[in-house]
Amino acid sequence: MDPAPSPTVPPPGTAMPSATIPPSAGIAASGPRARLGVREARGRFSGGRGYLAACTLGLPTRETLAAMRADAEEWSLGRADAARYGAVVERVRSGYAGLVSVPVGAVAIGSQASVMAGLVAASVPDGAEVLCVDGDFSSMVFPFLSQRHRGVTVRHVPLGELAGSITANTWLVAWSLVQSATGAIANTEAIVAAAHRSGTFTLCDTTQAAGWMPVDASRFDATICHSYKWLCAPRGAAFLTVSARLAEELNPAQAGWYAGESPWASCYGPEMNLATDARRFDVSPAWPAWVGAEPAIELFRSLDLAEVRAHAVGLGDALCDGLGIDRLGQAIVSWPDADGQGLGRLTAAGLVASGRAGRARVAFHLWNDEDDVADALTALGR
């Protein structure tokens, strides 16, 4: 797909963007980018000690907080500006495209993973089969189950059996690259290879992956990412990437003004001239979230994500060693905790962790270090 033309042309009579919040320098800039180390990146967060919950909700950097505060102030003064918000969204779209290695014209924006999965689900042909992971996060499952009235069948298999369960009958295989409940990482090579052999479309949710590990969205027909966890953006900034092959199959069922080729010329019917690239799948942006997302995406664009992965996995494996379990090679470590005792101990020690599917769950990100591992082990009596 070709890069998107700018959809930020203001409507007649709209004031020019007020320049009170400068665009984050360099998010869409070409040329070599200065690399930021994990240590330096840690300095961007004011909190984080004892916070083991990036898998639930990421933390904002000071830059994200400042941008959102300035925006709220502008809003309160009656100076919020639709065209300026549009420019912010387009810079973030462009930055995200670079982050996950796809052309900007392959990126659609929206506010939740489930809504984007719903768009894909609504285009699954009547009677077709979708293959999902048993126990995957419901935003990647319910949209497909909701199509059962049209004869769409959803088969659930364990993550490790996903590749081997794809058949010539499978129209779409949909899975999370990193599982929410366990942190388990899918075998992308095997799944993509099996899907190619059978002509099956691939839809990968990268919400629990992008930010702590490198993600190449160009390997999949579609990816979905809600950026409020590991990418440290506010909730409400989500992305769909889509290949030209799958885009042809998708009906832009959620199109509104922002999906127009020129959004400001698309505010009223009856004529509908949708964007020809992935922007036709856009859901109009929840503006303040995108203001906060801009410095967040910029931060992750400036990091070496292989280094971030080594950092997060190093801490996760150190916790596994302390717990006396096999190293998982994951940023998320979880273990059975049906009675909630483990989570209770972590919480009582002032640590922020989570419990999912009868398991205690901790996550390590940029702001964590060995002290957090030691504190968690002490809290757990190890």
Ligand X SMILES: Cc1ncc(COP(=O)(O)O)c(C=O)c1O
Q: Take residue 108 and report the two structure tokens written for it.
A: 């659609």
Q: With respect to ligand X, which residue has the nearer C-beta, 61 or 139?
A: 139
Could you say which residues in the range 88-117 bind ligand X, by CB under 6 A? 112-114
Nearer to ligand X, 137 or 367 (CB): 137
Reduced to 3 states (helix: H, G, I; strand: E, B; else coil), residue 344 is helix
Strand order in the sheet with 359-363: 332-336, 359-363, 354-356
Q: Which of 140, 154 has the CB closer to ligand X?
A: 140
- DSSP string covering 264-276: GG-SSSS---B-S
Residue among 44 and 356 whose Cβ is closer to ligand X: 356
Q: Based on CB atoms, which residue is closest to ligand X, 8 or 354?
A: 354
Q: 3-class SS at 80?
A: coil
Handedness of CA 263, 266, 268, 273 (dihedral sign): negative
- Does 266 interact with ligand X (rule: CB under 6 A)? no
Collapsing DSSP to helix, strand or coil, 302 comes out as coil
Which CB, 213 or 380, lies closer to ligand X?
213
Q: 178 with 209: CB under 8 angstroms?
A: yes
- In whole angstroms, give the CA distance from residue 320 to residue 300: 27
Q: Is 208 in the site for ligand X (CB under 6 A)?
A: yes
- How far out from the chain centre does Cα 118 lie? 15
What are 382's two structure tokens?
A: 């190890």
> In whole angstroms, what is the distance from residue 83 CA to residue 89 CA?
10
Q: Does 176 engage in binding with ligand X (CB under 6 A)?
A: yes
x/- mask, ligand X, residues 338-367, rule CB under 6 A, reads ------------------------------
232 in Cβ contact with 138 (< 8 Å): no
Could you say which residues in the range 222-241 bind ligand X, by CB under 6 A?
226, 238
**Contact string 59-88 vs ligand X (x = CB under 6 A):** ------------------------------
Least CB distance to ligand X at residue 228 (A): 8
Identified binder of ligand X from the candidate list 8, 61, 64, 139, rule CB under 6 A: 139
Q: Does residue 147 belong to the site contacting ligand X (CB under 6 A)?
A: no
Please provide residue 66's backbone torsions phi and psi, each rounded to the nearest 5 degrees: -65, -45
- Name 333's bridge partners: 362
End-to-end C-alpha distance for the chain, whole angstroms: 53
Type of residue found at 43: G
137 lines the binding site for ligand X (CB under 6 A): yes
Min dist CB 236 to ligand X, Å, is 9
Provide the minimum distance between the beta carbon of 207 and ligand X in the complex, in angstroms, as a whole number. 4
User: Binding segment for ligand X among 200-208, 240-248, 283-291, 300-308 (CB under 6 A)?
Assistant: 200-208
Q: Which is nearer to ligand X, 88 or 177 (CB)?
A: 177
Which residue stretch of 45-53, 134-142, 324-332, 340-348 sits at the interface with ligand X (rule: CB under 6 A)?
Answer: 134-142
CA 310 to chain centre: 20
Q: Any idea how long the chain is?
A: 382
DSSP letter at 255 equals -
| Count, residues near ligand X per rule CB under 6 A | 13
Alpha-carbon span 225 to 237, nearest angstrom: 9
Selected from 207, 223, 254, 334, the binder of ligand X by CB under 6 A is: 207
Nearer to ligand X, 144 or 264 (CB): 144
Nearer to ligand X, 296 or 380 (CB): 296
Least separation in angstroms between residue 276's CB and ligand X is 27
Which residues sit at the interface with ligand X, rule CB under 6 A? 112-114, 137, 139-140, 176, 180, 205, 207-208, 226, 238
